[in-house]
Structures are given as structure tokens and as C-alpha cells.
Chains A and B, each alone.
Chain A
């Protein structure tokens, strides 16, 4: 093999294997949150937890992702009415299942939009979900705002009732995850 062809091969190798820097990022807890919305004909309930841990494996330079996970202590959701929150904890058996989590490893990106497929474990039941989110890169941070919905029935949760009227089956989540890239 000539020196020229060897050099060319090494060059091709180096270019193709040029490292893409995938980083393991953990969210900034004070800026990250998760909120659920529950609808009853007489009430619309919003409850937020600031005690969520999001982990991300991403390449900040290429703006691409490899793995994402999130876990929340369900007892930390605060709707402004602890009596209602306590009732919610009874409904979802928080003593047996104190955490809800998500793990995602399938990513489809369209500009600033990111669709992540993965599994949500909630109330001891694991189901496939797709989470839509909006990405904002800048200022040394990555901000991810997203949403997804779960069916209470699918997660084997008895819908709570008020005046014999149950809440809607859909439990809608929105979240904000902020990561420092520095």
C-alpha cells in the first residue's frame, strides 16, 4: 500500500470518527418543574412539583439526544390545597408507588420540536408514550418545555369523584426541564 493511500485512509478514518461530545446532563432543580392538570365539571385542578429530576444524554454541539429520563416524588405535587393533594395521593396509592418516572430513548427532531418515545411508569404500571417538547438552546442552557397525556384508566387508577361525578379520564402533564450546558 502506498504512503498516499494509507494517509488518505487515515484521513477518512479521522474525519468519520470525529468525536461528537455526548454529555450527561442533570436538570437545574430550582428552574425545572412538572405540572398536572385534572378536569372535573366543577373544577380544573393544577398541581405542580418542583422536585423533579431530569437526566439527559445529549450532544450540545450537534443539538441531538440519546437518552432522557425523569423521576418525580408524587407526594411533592402542590395544587395549593393539601387536602386535595392528599386525596390525590390516596387515589394513586402513593404509599406503594411514591415515584413516577419516564425513560425515553427514541428521538425525532423537527427544528426546535422534539418528539421522544419512551415509557412512563406510574402507579406501578408502565406504558409507552410519546412526549412532544419544544427546545430552546442558548445562554449556556437548554430549556425543554413539553407535554403529554395519560389515561387514568390505563394506569389502573380509579377516577376520583366529587358529588358522585368522576373527573375526566385524561391526566395532562406539562413540564419544564432546564439544563446547564456549561
Chain B
């Protein structure tokens, strides 16, 4: 009878804890009754039993598999695969900023600082974009007023705002151009791609428009036929540049 009780006890324990078994993949896995395991309350089992010689070690539940970790990565992942020539020249592993000491060697720590600087620069780029758009609007407004009413004061305002616009635009663009590269850049087409494509158009407009504007001469209080055509070209170029610039802001913001 003692043996029978012993066997029944072992049966009860074995239904909770079962020997390990190796599956086809070679990984160690336990054999158990999971339904019982999931719902079983083990609190009533005295702790001493866990270390008791009474239990066959083979019956003790093995540790579950440890959490997997991904393979360690090299520093190559610190820079994106797709870097522009400018980024590579300035921020590459042996880029200009590292060479002159503005940026440190390519390490996780230095990249964290660079990404922080990038964030600040791009935030300023974003704010600068809106400021520049406001200045562009004012420039166009006074330029149009001068074309309509030939008031010298409007022309002076127009010229002032041209200067402010060029300064603001240049600084805003520079912030984006010299900012450190991101952590990730894939080759996909996105709003950023459209933003950058539109930038090429408004950069051309920002070069062309003031040059054409400086070519307009009002001789003896009147425009010549050629000057009128130039003024008209300047006007259209200014509107197109402002429109494209606004679009490049909108596409990245909304």
C-alpha cells in the first residue's frame, strides 16, 4: 500500500513536471501538461520539495529558453547607406568636419551628439522656412504695389524685403545642407523627396528672380518695351518661386 501511495504521488508530480525532450530542431524543450501548468497553483507545494532528493532531477522543469538577442552590430550602421556627396564630404567617416575636429571620430557617442545637433538645425530650418515665406510674401506684395502704383516707397520696401528674404532663405537652406546625416535613409519616394525636389526649383527661382529684377531699368520715368517684358518676367518668376517654396513647406508639414 505504501508503494501504491508513493506511485500515486509521483504520478501527481509528474503531471506537473516532466522530463525535457529535444525536438527536431535540436532545441531543448520540456514535456509537460501545459493546460495543467497554465492553471496550476503551485503555492501549496512546500519549497523544500524543489530541492528534495526525493524528486528525480529529470522530473524537474528545466529553465525556459532565454530571451533571444539580436546579433551585435558594427559602427557601420551609425551612418545611412544613402548619403549625398555633401553629407559624405562633411560627415562621412573621414569627412571634413571630422578632419578639422568640429565633429569627433565616428562613434555611437559622437553620432548621438550629431543627431541632437541635426534635430536642432532641422527645427531651425523649419522655423526659418516659415519666416522666409512671410518675408517672400512681403517682398511680392510691395513689388506688385510698385508695379501697380509706381510709388517709390513701395519700391524701397520691396528692396528691403528682398535683402531680408535672401538672407533668411540662405541661412535656412544652409541649416539643411550642412546638418549631420540622419540615422536611416532609404531610397524611397516620400514627402521629403518631394520637398527636396521642389527645393531645386525654388533655389533656381531665388537665383533667377533677383538677377532679373536688377536688370529692370526705368528710364525717364517710363519703362521701355524690353524693360516691361523683363519686369513681367521678374513678376512671374517671383510668384512661381513663392508658390513652389510654399508648396515645399506644405508638403513636409501636412
Q: Give the residue name and chain of the A residue nearest to B72 (CB).
A: A98
Contact B67 A103, beta carbon cutoff 8 Å: yes
Interface size class of A (residues with CB under 8 A): 35 or more
Contact B64 A105, beta carbon cutoff 8 Å: yes
Interface size class of B (residues with CB under 8 A): 35 or more
Contact A95 B111, beta carbon cutoff 8 Å: yes
Contact A1 B4, beta carbon cutoff 8 Å: yes
Contact B70 A53, beta carbon cutoff 8 Å: yes
A86 an interface residue at 8 Å Cβ cutoff? yes
Chain A 40-54 per-residue mask, 1 if CB under 8 angstroms from chain B, else 0: 001000000000010
Complex-state Cα separation, A85 to B115, whole angstroms: 13
B253 an interface residue at 8 Å Cβ cutoff? yes
The interface residues of chain A, by DSSP majority, are classed as mixed
Q: In angstroms, how far is the closest chain B Cβ from the Cβ of A127?
A: 15
Contact A163 B77, beta carbon cutoff 8 Å: no
One of B15, B35, B69, B119 near A16 (C-beta < 8 A): B15
B47 an interface residue at 8 Å Cβ cutoff? no
B57 an interface residue at 8 Å Cβ cutoff? no
B residues near A5, Cβ cutoff 8 Å: 4
B residues near A163, Cβ cutoff 8 Å: 253
Contact A10 B188, beta carbon cutoff 8 Å: no
Contact B11 A81, beta carbon cutoff 8 Å: no
Chain B 59-103 per-residue mask, 1 if CB under 8 angstroms from chain A, else 0: 000001101111001000110100000000000000000000000
A residues near B69, Cβ cutoff 8 Å: 71, 99, 101
Contact A12 B8, beta carbon cutoff 8 Å: yes
Q: In angstroms, how far is the closest chain A Cβ from the Cβ of B134?
A: 15
A residues near B21, Cβ cutoff 8 Å: 19, 21
B45 an interface residue at 8 Å Cβ cutoff? no
Complex-state Cα separation, A67 to B68, whole angstroms: 12
What are the 8 tightest A-B residue pairs by CB atom distance, in nearest-first order?
Answer: A86-B182, A64-B34, A81-B190, A17-B14, A24-B27, A83-B192, A82-B186, A67-B64
Q: Which residues of A contact B (CB under 8 A)?
A: 1, 5-6, 9-10, 12-13, 16-17, 19-24, 26, 42, 53, 55, 57-59, 62, 64-67, 69, 71, 73, 75, 78, 80-87, 89-90, 93-96, 98-99, 101, 103, 105, 107-109, 162-163
